[in-house]
Amino acid sequence: MSVKTTHVAVKMAVEAQKSISEAFDMMEEFFGVRPDSKFFNVYWKGMEKLISAVSIAVGDEQDWLSWYIYDNEHGEKGMKAGYDGKLKKIGNIRALVRLIEEGKRR
């Protein structure tokens, strides 16, 4: 898979997860249904499978995509990651794709 295709696939997965999470936050605000309720379990399981599928398709063997979305909160935390002690801030999708590509070369 080319770097450009990897970028597009990763960006689509991140944007999909972020959009639906924002919708769930609004549902909690307006209807009192919490995103961690049983009502949304089907979504969360499906989203985890989608993220795993994209990771497999782009060769993200270290699960950086999942880390970026959940632990790094779509890059908003500005967490650092890397290899061999060379950590870089992963604050956007471009940096995430570079990290994934670096992992593929190992």
Instruction: Please name the residues in contact with 97: beta carbons below 8 A apart, sequence gap of 6 or more.
Output: 3, 6, 7, 10
Size (the chain), residues: 106
Can you give the pTM of this predicted structure?
0.88
Which of 32-36, 43-47, 80-84 has the weakest average pLDDT? 32-36
Summarised one tens digit per residue, pLDDT across range 42-77 is: 888 889 999 999 999 999 999 999 999 999 999 999
d(CA 78, CA 41): 28
pLDDT band at residue 23 under the 50/70/90 scheme: confident
Strand partners, 89: 80
Amino acid, single-letter form, for residue 56? I
